[in-house]
Structure 1
């Protein structure tokens, strides 16, 4: 996840604010359209491409970049986190000998360096696109919403056909792919849909296209079920609960959300250790399917090793140094932060996401539908990150930035004149 909260109601007010919102931003509008057009294409064809897409977006958006005071706190938190991660490489068992770096492939393995580059480029993309004119943001939001629906339809149809479409596309390029691998590739699109579902739903509801929201939901669920993307189904359910919490209780619900977001960053290792001691984890082992059973083993091993270096951690990328006990990463963002960067890293990560949640509490004072959307998107990202991906994966961090951008675009779409804003639900 990356820089600055698009959830905060910091848009200018008054005459000067209206003038700023109406000021044309043709370059930024073009960049935004480029991003939203590429999003469904990459989600289906090459999800790992979101990393270069967001990096390029940040570079292209630099001419329109205008830093604001609201961007400073999350920027600073992420910068300190990146600095601490870089310092931790001095004791990491996965440290790379700089003298052996020869080509781009070797340099690309330097996670600490990439964190700074991602913070600069992804962060620039998020901050700059917040400066879009209202008209430019509405156009980009409309394209994003319809593109996400199209993605859901194509992914669902392809999953039902056993990824026949994806295989055919590979044959056209002269690179055949096995059916099982093609299904895995199609399944990756569900993670993008799970994150964009809530901003897309708000956009479609404000465009009076409620039927397309159901089509989007059906496409996401069908693809997730067939491709066994359990994390996306859990994220959709958890996001729905977060939406209801904030929509129903507004600022009170958003404040509760801050605590819920903070809890895993504080309690993850302790919760696993208590689960082991009480026999709860052993009980879960009997019920869990193979993939989740493996996760339980990884999380138990990770929590146990956090105790060795609870304050400083084992060092950046240390997850890769434990062999088959932790295949590449812990499949849980909070536990990976604790293991590699210790209490300091986990605290910084928690503070950043709590800052986003606090922005939702502020936003709920103005619009509970926008706040509910942001809450659902935030929880969806945390849930998927909590069971699926490594915390430093470039494409996953890029999707965090894209989610912030999408939420910002959704807020620019005005409600229908006949409907009161706070009575309009994403499924209305």
Structure 2
């Protein structure tokens, strides 16, 4: 079937817009995913696409959000739990549609999409480069334009959400270029975008680039071993959360035992220790969807000053034991949905590793790395970004009609 120019142009525009939008306004991922989902549904309807290819991920996702909705029965915020479960269930529909629509793309359509993504990613990398080289002045200027308070000196870039999305979106580019032009040229986007991210101050994005690169290297040698590594590492993380996280040192004791960590990491340790301790109180079913916001004891303050034995002031730690969510996806799911929810996530990871293409295994690893240290797992912009990245990773048909 002949590929129409408007179709290729629309796909090119979608790829072009995604990375700069992620950097400048990450919250825009949710409306963008909704728009792309509607367009994907329209394409699938017009072509009477067979949905069988996408059912495993969709089925497991639906089970997860059905369990989340059921947990409203024991959640301390039942209406919020139901609302979040319904909203995320809707994202499953549009996200699955996006994956199926991506599978239906022919070669020229996919080339148009990925060419736009390549250019957009380079533009986004340029924006981040200017941001980092000017001590985060661009995001500070954006704050002022929006009428918000100026960023304090030394504040992290407000574009870091976009940096993490870019750290994930680079892998579909690597896979596409490798398929089209070989591994040497496929490495180019990772080298360029990775260098920019490594120069920035988003630890989550840096971790994503490094972890993804390690698994990519292993997968080029043995995709089977790389897939097993991802599954085993995820299961090991679950085990560590259950057995070790409740025993983590917290401030001020951690200032002495782990004095090499930045002060923000000490707060994260306290959050993980508190969250895992609370999760152990209801290990099977969890506290209920969205309960992280109102867990008893979460509002306890951790405010303390870090003074070394030599009398050096290394800053002040401010914050609560649990600020809205645990900043770890697996821990949040265990806390809210219990081991039933964790089991569904492990099944999802196992299903995702069935795609043994090196770039896709690297992208999955990078996603798990970010989810392990940042963001709330139910945040709309983050879930939307993950569905979009999953669609970009989906294999397309290899039609060559012009």
Fold equivalence (TM over 0.5): yes
**CA distance in 2: counterparts of 1:221 and 1:348, whole angstroms:** 35
Q: Residues 20 and 121 of structure 2 are in contact (CA less than 8 Å); yes or no, is this contact kept in structure 1?
A: no
Equivalenced residue count is 369
2:211 equivalent to 1:238: yes
In the alignment, the residues of structure 2 paired with residue 220 and residue 177 of structure 1 have an alpha-carbon distance, to the nearest angstrom, of 31
2:377 paired with 1:391: yes
Tell me the CA shift for residue 73 of structure 1. Answer: 1.5
Whole-Å separation in 2 of the counterparts to 1:57 and 1:208 = 30
> Structure 1 residue 131 and structure 2 residue 127: aligned?
no
1:313 alignment partner in structure 2: 286
Structure 2 residue corresponding to 1:113, chosen from 80, 86, 92 = 86
**Structure 1 residues not aligned, in runs of 5+:** 1-21, 99-108, 361-370, 415-428
1:192-271 to 2 correspondences below 5 Å: 192-205=165-178, 206-207=180-181, 214=188, 217-226=191-200, 228-271=201-244
* Aligned mate of 2:259, from 270, 286, 293: 286
Partner of 1:333: 329
| Map of 1:178 onto structure 2 | 150
Would you say the 8 A contact 1:29–1:132 is kept in 2?
no
- Structure 1 equivalent of residue 33 of structure 2: 54
Change (3 A) 1:95 1:224: farther
Match of 2:363 among 365, 368, 377: 377
Deviation at 1:149, TM superposition (A): 1.7
Equivalent in 275, 280, 283 of residue 302 of structure 1: 275
CA distance in 2, matches of 1:177, 1:282: 31
| Structure 1 residue 54, shift from structure 2 partner | 0.5
SS at structure 1 position matched to 2:158: helix
2:52 corresponds to: 69
2:217 and 2:197 map into 1 onto residues whose CA distance is 24
Cα shift readout 1:132-160 (whole Å, capped 9, x = no counterpart): 12211111111111221221122112321
- 1:151 and 2:124 equivalent? yes
Which whole-Å deviations, capped at 9, do the CAs of 1:27-64 have from their partners, x for residues lacking one?
Answer: 76455334212202312220110011011110122122
Shift in Å, 1:266: 4.9
The residue aligned with 2:313 is none
- Does structure 1 retain, via aligned residues, the 8 Å contact 2:140–2:151? yes
CA distance in 2, matches of 1:26, 1:222: 34
1:112 to partner: Cα distance: 1.6
Is this contact kept in 2: 1:190–1:220, CA < 8 A? no
Q: 1:23 to 1:130 in 2, by over 3 A?
A: farther
Query: What CA distance in whole angstroms lies between the structure 2 residues aligned with 1:30 and 1:84?
Result: 40
Question: Which whole-Å CA distance do the structure 2 matches of 1:412 and 1:298 have between them?
Answer: 47
Write the deviation string for residues 283-303 of structure 1: whole angstroms up to 9, x where unpaired. 764332111111111111111
Shift in Å, 1:326: 0.8
2:76 is equivalent to residue 93 of structure 1? yes
Per the alignment, residue 102 of structure 1 pairs with none
- Alignment RMSD: 3.2
Structure 1 residue 349 and structure 2 residue 345: aligned? yes
User: Cα–Cα, structure 1 residues 333 and 174, in superposed 2: closer, same or farther, change >3 Å?
Assistant: closer
User: Do the aligned residues in 2 keep the contact of 1:40 with 1:151 (CA within 8 Å)?
Assistant: yes
Q: 1:211 to 1:28 in 2, by over 3 A?
A: closer
Q: Does the CA contact (< 8 Å) of 1:235 and 1:380 recur in 2?
A: yes
Alpha-carbon spacing, 1:84–1:28, altered in 2? closer, same or farther (3 Å): farther
Q: Deviations over 1:176-230 (max 9, x none)?
A: 762559963222221111101222233345457967955764454445544x211
Once the two structures are TM-superposed, the CA of residue 265 in structure 1 deviates from its matched residue by 3.8
In structure 2, the CA distance between the partners of 1:405 and 1:97, relative to structure 1 (3 Å rule), is closer
CA distance in 2, matches of 1:159, 1:97: 38
Aligned to 2:286, what secondary structure does the other structure show?
A: coil
Following TM superposition, by how much is the alpha carbon of 1:268 offset from its aligned partner in structure 2, in angstroms? Answer: 2.4
Q: Cα distance, 1:250 vs. partner?
A: 2.8
Which stretch shifts more, 346-355 or 67-76? Answer: 67-76
